[in-house]
C-alpha cells in the first residue's frame, strides 16, 4: 500500500472541533469544540462514517481542547486551557455513547496549568496531560470509579511559563517507559520536545529537551514506538526522531511541508 487517501464523503458536524478521537472499539467518534465548548459523541455506521450525535456535553465554558475514552472503555476526560483551566471527568457508556459526569464532575487542577492533550499509559491506570500554560506534564492516577487523583505536576526543565510559550501535544511510548510533550514558542526562541521517564509510582523524571523547528504542534509515534514524528507548523517540516533506549531523541530524517501543518496520524503498515 502506498498510503494514498481517497475521499469517501463529506459529513456535516454539529460543531467545529479542534480535536477528534475514536473510542477504543472504533464505534464512536468524539469531538471537543474549542470556541464553543461542546463535547459531542457520534456513532459510526458500518462504513465508518459519523451519523447522528448520540451524546453531547456543555459545561458552560469554552476552550475544551481534547477528549479521549479510557482504554477500558469506561471513562472519558476533557481538559480546558487558558482562563478555563479545568479537567472534567465522565463515565462513558460503550453501548450508547453517553457521557455522565462523575462525582465530583471535575478533577483537581492547580492554578495556571491549562491541561490540553492527554495520553493513557498502556499498562497502568495512569493518564498524562500536556499543560499548555504550565508547560510541563501532569500525571493522574485513574481510580476504580474513574475519578482522577493527581500524582505529579512536573515542570518542563528550563521552560518558564510566560506569554508566548504554550505546550501542545503529548504521547507515551507503547512500552510505557517514556512520555514526550512539545512546547511552542510564539515569537519566542524556545521550540522543543521534552522527554520524561515514567516511574513505577506514576511520577515523572525529566530527561531533557530536544530542539525542533518552529512551533512543534503535533506528535505521533510509530507503532513500534521507536520513531517519534513532529510537525512544525511555522517551520513547515515533518521530522522523524529515533527514540533511543535511554529515552533520548536522535533526528533521523526531515522533509519540507507546507506551513500551518498541524496534526498527523501514523498507521500500521499493511
- 270 within a domain of the structure (yes/no): yes
At residue 37, the pLDDT reads 98
Flag residues of the chain having pLDDT under 70.
1, 270
- Residue 85 CA to residue 99 CA, distance in Å, equals 20
**Is 3 contained in some domain?**
no
Start-to-end Cα distance in the chain? 7
Whether residues 259 and 133 share a domain: the answer is yes
39 and 129 in a common domain: no
What's the CATH number where 263 sits?
2.130.10.10
Residues 99 and 20 in one domain: yes
| Count of structural domains within the chain | 2
Task: Answer yes or no: do 144 and 219 share one domain.
Answer: yes
The predicted pLDDT at position 76 comes to 99
Domain-terminating residue out of 106, 121, 148: 106
| CA atoms of 137 and 134, how far apart (whole Å) | 8
Residue 137: partners with Cβ closer than 8 Å, 6 or more residues away: 128, 129, 130, 131, 154, 156, 170, 179, 181, 194, 196, 204
Give domain status of residue 7, yes or no.
no
- Answer whether 0.75 is exceeded by the pTM: yes
Provide the domain limits for residue 41.
13-106
- CA torsion angle for 86, 119, 156, 210 (degrees, to 10)? -150
Q: What is the pLDDT of residue 197?
A: 99
Do 97 and 67 share a structural domain? yes
- Taking the alpha carbons of 21, 17, 110, 167 in that order, is the dihedral positive or negative? positive
Per DSSP (E only), the strands in the chain are: 19-22, 28-32, 38-44, 50-58, 68-69, 75-80, 86-92, 99-106, 115-120, 126-131, 137-142, 148-154, 165-172, 178-185, 192-198, 204-211, 216-221, 227-232, 237-243, 249-256
Q: Are residues 241 and 151 in the same domain?
A: yes
Q: What is the pLDDT of residue 4?
A: 83
In a domain, 6, yes or no: no
Same domain flag for 202 and 97: no
**pLDDT for position 1:** 62
Query: Residues 133, 222: one domain?
Result: yes
pLDDT tens digits, 202-257: 999 999 999 999 999 999 999 999 999 999 999 999 999 999 999 999 999 999 99
Burial (Cβ within 10 Å: 0-12, 13-18, ≥19) of residue 113: buried
> Does residue 132 sit within a domain?
yes
Q: Domain ends where: 106, 128, 152?
A: 106
pLDDT of residue 258: 86
Distance set, CA 13 to CA 30, 38, 99 (Å): 11, 12, 18
Q: What is the pLDDT of residue 259?
A: 87
Amino acid at each position: 500500500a502506498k498510503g494514498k487517501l481517497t475521499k469517501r464523503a463529506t459529513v456535516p458536524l454539529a460543531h467545529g472541533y479542534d480535536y477528534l478521537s475514536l473510542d477504543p472499539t472504533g464505534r464512536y467518534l468524539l469531538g471537543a469544540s474549542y470556541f464553543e465548548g461542546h463535547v459531542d459523541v457520534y456513532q459510526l455506521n458500518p462504513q465508518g462514517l459519523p451519523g447522528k450525535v448520540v451524546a453531547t456535553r456543555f459545561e458552560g465554558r469554552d476552550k475544551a481542547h481534547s477528549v479521549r475514552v479510557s482504554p477500558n472503555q469506561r471513562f472519558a476526560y476533557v481538559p480546558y486551557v487558558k482562563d478555563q483551566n479545568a479537567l472534567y471527568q465522565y463515565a462513558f457508556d460503550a453501548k450508547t455513547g453517553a457521557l455522565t459526569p462523575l462525582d465530583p464532575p471535575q478533577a483537581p487542577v492547580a492554578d495556571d496549568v491549562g491541561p490540553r492533550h492527554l495520553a493513557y499509559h498502556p499498562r497502568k491506570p495512569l493518564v498524562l496531560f500536556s499543560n499548555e500554560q504550565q508547560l510541563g506534564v501532569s500525571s493522574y492516577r485513574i481510580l476504580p470509579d474513574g475519578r482522577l487523583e493527581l500524582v505529579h505536576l512536573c515542570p518542563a526543565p528550563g521552560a518558564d511559563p510566560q506569554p508566548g510559550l504554550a505546550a501542545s501535544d503529548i504521547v507515551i511510548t507503547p512500552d510505557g517507559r517514556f512520555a514526550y510533550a512539545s512546547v511552542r514558542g510564539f515569537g519566542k526562541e524556545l521550540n522543543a520536545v521534552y522527554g520524561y521517564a515514567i516511574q513505577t509510582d506514576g511520577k515523572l523524571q525529566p530527561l531533557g529537551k530536544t530542539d525542533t523547528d518552529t512551533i512543534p504542534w503535533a506528535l505521533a509515534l510509530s507503532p513500534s514506538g521507536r520513531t517519534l514524528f513532529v510537525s512544525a507548523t511555522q517551520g513547515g517540516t515533518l521530522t522523524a526522531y529515533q527514540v533511543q533506549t535511554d529515552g533520548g531523541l536522535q533526528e533521523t530524517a526531515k522533509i519540507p511541508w507546507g506551513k500551518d501543518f498541524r496534526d498527523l496520524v501514523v498507521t500500521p503498515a499493511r
